Amino acid sequence: MKLARALDGYTGKVLFVDLTKRTSELFPWTDADRKRTLGCKVMAADILLHHIKPGMKAFDEDNWLVVTTGPLTGTGCPNSSRFNISTISPLTGILTSSNCGGDFGLWLKRAGYDAVIFTGRSETPVTVNITPEAVTFDDATPLMGLTTSETQEKLPKKVGKLVIGPAGEHKVLYACVFSGERTAGRGGVGAVFGDKNLKAVTAFGTSMPTVRNREKLRKLNKKWVHILQTHPLTGRQLPKLGTAGLIAPMQAHKILATKNFSEGRFDGFEKISGEELAEHHLVSNAACTTCVIRCARMCKVDDKVVKGPELEVLGLLGANILNDDIEKIIRWNYVLDELGMDTISAAGTLAFAMELKEKGVHDFGVEFGRNDNVEEMFRKIAVREGEGDILADGSRVMSEKFGGKEYAINAKGMELAAYTPRHAVGHGLGYATANRGGCHLNAGYMVVVEGLGLDVDSLTHHGKAALAIMFQNLMEAVSAGGSCMFTSYAVLPGFLIDKPNWFLTKAILAAFPYVGPVVNLLSHFTKAPAINIPLLPESYAIKYATGIKSTMAKMLTWGAYGYNAERIANVILGQKADADKLPSRLTDEPQDPNDPRTKVPLDKMKPVYYRARGWKDGIPKWHRLKSLGIKISKDVYDAAVKEAYR
Partner 1 sequence: MAKINVKLFGVFRMDTHIDCIELEAAKLGEIFPLLNEKSLALYEERHASDPKTEKPAPFTFKDAIVYVNGERSAKKGLKLADGDEIWLLSPASGG
Residues at the site binding partner 1, with contacts judged by CB under 8 A: 232-233, 236-238, 240-246, 248-249, 252, 265, 273-275, 278-279, 295, 310-311, 440-441, 445, 448, 452-455, 485-486, 489, 497-502, 506
Q: Closest CB to partner 1 among 95 and 454?
A: 454
Q: Is 207 left (phi over 0), alpha (psi -120 to 50) or beta?
A: beta
Contact indicator for 621, 612 with CB cutoff of 8 Å: no
Inter-axis angle of helices 537-546 and 552-572, nearest 10: 90
Residues 6+ apart with CB under 8 A from 21: 120
Q: How far is the CB of 301 from partner 1 (least distance, A)?
A: 22
- Least separation in angstroms between residue 509's CB and partner 1 is 11
Residue with smaller CB distance to partner 1, 37 or 320 = 320
Torsion of Cα atoms, 571 then 576 then 581 then 585, to 10°: -140
The secondary structure element, H or E, covering residue 87 is strand 83-88
Q: Where are the alpha helices (DSSP H) in 323-463?
A: 326-339, 343-358, 374-382, 388-391, 394-402, 425-433
Nearest to 598 by CA among 457, 438, 501: 457
Query: Least distance in Å: CB of 310 to partner 1?
Result: 8
User: CB-based contacts of 488: which residues, under 8 Å, 6+ apart?
Assistant: 471, 474, 475, 478, 536
| Closest distance to partner 1 from the beta carbon of 345 (Å) | 16
Cβ nearer to partner 1, comparing 252 with 518: 252
Q: Which is nearer to partner 1, 65 or 238 (CB)?
A: 238
Element (H, E) at 24: strand 23-27
Beta carbon nearer to partner 1, 492 or 577: 492
246 alpha-carbon distance from chain centroid: 18
**β-pair partners for 114:** none
27: helix, strand or coil:
strand
Q: How far is the CB of 279 from partner 1 (least distance, A)?
A: 8
Cβ neighbors of 304 (< 8 A, separation 6 or more) are none
Partnered with residue 66 across adjacent β-strands are: 86, 117
Q: Which is nearer to partner 1, 244 or 477 (CB)?
A: 244
Q: Residue 24 forms beta bridges with which residues?
A: 17
CB of 181 to partner 1, least distance (A): 17
Closest separation between CB of residue 243 and partner 1, Å?
3
CB of 311 to partner 1, least distance (A): 5
CA distance 550 to 268: 47
Least Cβ distance, residue 185 to partner 1 (angstroms) = 11
Nearer to partner 1 among residue 316 and residue 441 (C-beta):
441
Identify whether the C-beta of residue 347 lies closer than 8 Å to the C-beta of residue 197: no
Minimum gap (Å) between residue 533 Cβ and partner 1: 19
Give 248 or 383: the residue with its C-beta nearer to partner 1.
248
Cα 444–Cα 160–Cα 287 angle in degrees, nearest 5: 50
Residue closer to partner 1 by CB (options 82, 380) is 82
The rounded distance, in Å, linking the Cα atoms of 444 and 455 is: 16
**Residue whose CB is less far from partner 1, 118 or 431:** 431
Instruction: Output the smallest distance, CB 419 to partner 1, in A.
Output: 10
Could you tell me the sign of the dihedral formed by the alpha carbons of 471, 477, 293, 508, in that order? Answer: negative
Instruction: Tell the smallest beta-carbon distance from residue 20 to partner 1 (Å).
Output: 37
Give the integer Cα–Cα distance in Å for 163 and 129. 12
CB closer to partner 1, 195 vs 450: 450
CB nearer to partner 1: give 90 or 264.
Answer: 264
Shorter beta-carbon distance to partner 1: residue 298 or 636: 298
- Asked if residue 235 lies in contact with residue 228, where contact means CB atoms within 8 angstroms, the answer is yes
User: How far apart are the C-alpha atoms of 45 and 82, rounded to whole Å?
Assistant: 16
Closest CB 516 distance from partner 1, rounded Å: 23
Polymer length of the chain: 646
- Cβ within 8 Å of residue 76, ≥6 positions away: 217, 218, 221, 290
255 or 354, CB closer to partner 1? Answer: 255
What's the one-letter identity of residue 572?
I
Minimum CB separation from partner 1 for residue 546, in Å? 26
DSSP 350-361: HHHHHHHHHTTS
Q: Could you tell me if 397 and 180 are in contact, meaning their C-beta atoms sit under 8 angstroms apart?
A: no
Give min distance, CB of 146 to partner 1, in A: 29
b (16+ CB within 10 A) / e for 100-109: bbbbbbbbbb
The nearer residue to partner 1, 242 or 537, going by C-beta atoms, is 242
Least spacing, CB of residue 377 vs partner 1, in Å: 26
Cα–Cα distance for residue pair 223/237, rounded to 1 Å: 20
Asked whether the beta carbons of 520 and 466 are under 8 A apart, the reply is yes
Contact call for residues 384 and 392 (beta carbons, < 8 A):
yes
Select 155 or 286, whichever has its Cβ closest to partner 1. Answer: 286
> Residue 69 forms beta bridges with which residues?
83
| CA 383/CA 389 separation, integer angstroms | 8
